[in-house]
Amino acid sequence: MLIGEEMGDGLTFFAEGGTIDLSSSGAVVRYSSAFHDWAGGRIDETTPADIAERIVPVGALELDRVWVADSDDTETFDRFCREVFDSLNV
């Protein structure tokens, strides 16, 4: 069971990498150079060895449940959290 927020990436993406300092502007650019495909379980020469050893195809991940907190009010948020935890015990 996965609990958390929807990821910004899909299940196929590039990660790792490094940074490049741009001398004229002083800006730092981050780049990603390692292929990950958790949907299909594919790797290539850029996939880190420790990940390549463990990668498995998971297909499409679908949410089992969705909870949305509608308020920042402490009492309402506490009640919401109790409802989420209680529903996991069913």
Tens-digit pLDDT string for the chain (90 aa): 555 666 667 889 999 999 999 999 999 999 999 999 999 999 999 999 999 999 999 888 777 788 888 777 888 889 888 888 888 886
* pLDDT confidence of residue 3: 58
Is 57 contained in some domain?
A: yes
Is 53 contained in some domain?
A: yes
Total domain count, the chain: 1
Question: Which residues are CB-neighbours of 80 under 8 A, at least 6 positions away?
Answer: 67, 69, 70, 71
The SS3 call for residue 83 is: helix
58 close to 44: Cβ distance less than 8 angstroms = no
Q: What is the pTM of this model?
A: 0.57
Question: Which residues are CB-neighbours of 83 under 8 A, at least 6 positions away?
Answer: 67
- Residue 16: give the domain boundaries: 12-64
* pLDDT confidence of residue 5: 62
